[in-house]
């Protein structure tokens, strides 16, 4: 079989990285000193790396992050933020997702909750977990529309979100919810209980969530399913992250 025929077949099988690596080996005499096994391992490594990279980019794209460039390694540990670096690094291993635990990010507007949640999300994508970022108002709108359909859309949507390994809910309980929304939220939380992880980004501590949920019994059930299986992270700061970055850009 000719070199051209081999390249054609590799390309047809969508193994473009291996095809390019094979072409490089054919054109570079330095590879002639290597054994067949060494050269073959290089071909496989190139193809494997390309596919892992493509999968990562696909997971990041599907997650629909608000801050797609956020990264754990870029977290700024300013003294006034009081971030626990050891806890952040422990969570970055993804063990909390394996154990189906949650993270509650609390802090005032502008203190970096969305950015940090997205950094955790992108880290999870690197570990090949399926991640979804959504604002709570948009999440509830999606479910309320599905509930009004008579074709089983609501249950299909529940199953869809149940399959998400890490769900990031931003703008958590900024305002009080009507009973219909509270009941919908309970169904979402219940479907993911002990099977998946969620990051909640909130401007208020869990103690203040109860009055936002309205329906007392359902509120108790929702809080019970979240709080006891969650890590709490308070994002503090004498200067908000928006102000810090604004000052930096003007320097």
- pLDDT tens digit sequence for 19-37: 777 788 888 877 788 888 8
- Smallest Cα–Cα separation from 107: which of 72, 88, 80? 80
Does residue 204 or residue 30 have the better pLDDT?
204
Per-residue pLDDT, 33: 80
**pLDDT at position 51 over 80:** no
**pLDDT at position 250 over 70:** no
Q: Label residue 244 exposed, middle or buried (CB < 10 Å: 0-12, 13-18, 19+).
A: middle
- Residue ranges of alpha helices (H) inside the chain are 3-12, 16-27, 36-63, 85-91, 95-98, 113-126, 136-147, 153-162, 179-192, 209-213, 216-227, 241-250
% the chain with pLDDT above 90: 63
Pairing of strands 166-170, 197-202: parallel
Distance between CA 126 and CA 123 in Å, rounded? 5
Q: Which DSSP string corresponds to 94-157?
A: THHHHTT-EEEEE--TTSSHHHHHHHHHHHHHHTT--EEEEEHHHHHHHHHHHHT-SSSHHHHH
**pLDDT at position 137 over 60:** yes
**pLDDT at position 131 over 70:** yes
Q: In angstroms, what CA-CA distances link 5 with 9, 12, 56, 71, 245?
A: 6, 10, 31, 43, 54
- pLDDT tens-place string over residues 114-123: 999 999 999 9
- pLDDT tens-place string over residues 167-192: 999 999 999 999 999 999 999 999 99
Going by pLDDT thresholds of 50, 70 and 90, the confidence category of residue 3 is: confident
Beta bridge partners of 169: 134, 200
Judge whether 131 and 164 are in contact, CB under 8 Å. yes
Per-residue pLDDT, 69: 94
Residues 6+ apart with CB under 8 A from 57: none
Per-residue pLDDT, 170: 98
Per-residue pLDDT, 37: 85
Per-residue pLDDT, 146: 95
- Smallest Cα–Cα separation from 188: which of 216, 217, 174, 167? 167
The whole-chain average pLDDT of the chain stands at 88
Per-residue pLDDT, 248: 44
Tokens of 225: 């399913």
**pLDDT at position 251 over 60:** no
Distance between CA 195 and CA 184 in Å, rounded? 18
- What mean pLDDT comes out for the span 219-248? 77
Q: Label residue 24 exposed, middle or buried (CB < 10 Å: 0-12, 13-18, 19+).
A: middle
Distance between CA 66 and CA 198 in Å, rounded? 16
Degrees to nearest 5, angle at CA 221 with 224 and 147: 130
- pLDDT tens-place string over residues 93-107: 999 999 999 999 999
């Amino acid at each position: 079989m000719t070199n051209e025929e081999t390249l054609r077949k590799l390309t047809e099988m969508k193994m473009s990285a291996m095809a390019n690596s094979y072409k490089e080996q054919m054109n570079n005499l330095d590879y002639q000193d290597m054994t067949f096994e060494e050269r073959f391992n290089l071909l496989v490594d190139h193809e494997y790396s390309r596919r892992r990279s493509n999968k990562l980019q696909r997971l990041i794209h599907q997650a629909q992050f608000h801050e797609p460039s956020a990264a754990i390694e870029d977290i700024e540990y300013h003294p006034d933020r009081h971030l626990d670096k050891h806890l952040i690094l422990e969570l970055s291993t993804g063990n909390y997702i394996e154990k189906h635990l949650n993270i509650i990010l609390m802090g005032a507007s502008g203190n970096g909750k969305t950015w940090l949640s997205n950094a955790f999300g992108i880290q999870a994508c690197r570990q090949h977990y399926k991640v979804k970022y959504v604002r709570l108002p948009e999440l509830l709108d999606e479910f309320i529309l599905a509930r009004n359909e008579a074709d089983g859309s609501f249950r299909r949507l529940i199953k869809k979100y149940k399959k998400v390994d890490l769900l990031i809910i931003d703008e958590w309980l900024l305002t009080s919810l009507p009973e219909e929304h509270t009941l919908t939220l309970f169904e979402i939380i219940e479907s993911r209980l002990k099977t998946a992880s969620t990051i909640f980004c909130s401007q208020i501590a869990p103690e203040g969530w109860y009055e936002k949920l309205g329906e007392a019994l359902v509120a108790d059930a929702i809080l019970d399913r979240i709080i006891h299986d969650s890590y709490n992270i308070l994002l503090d700061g004498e200067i908000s992250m928006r102000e810090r970055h604004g000052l930096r850009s003007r320097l």
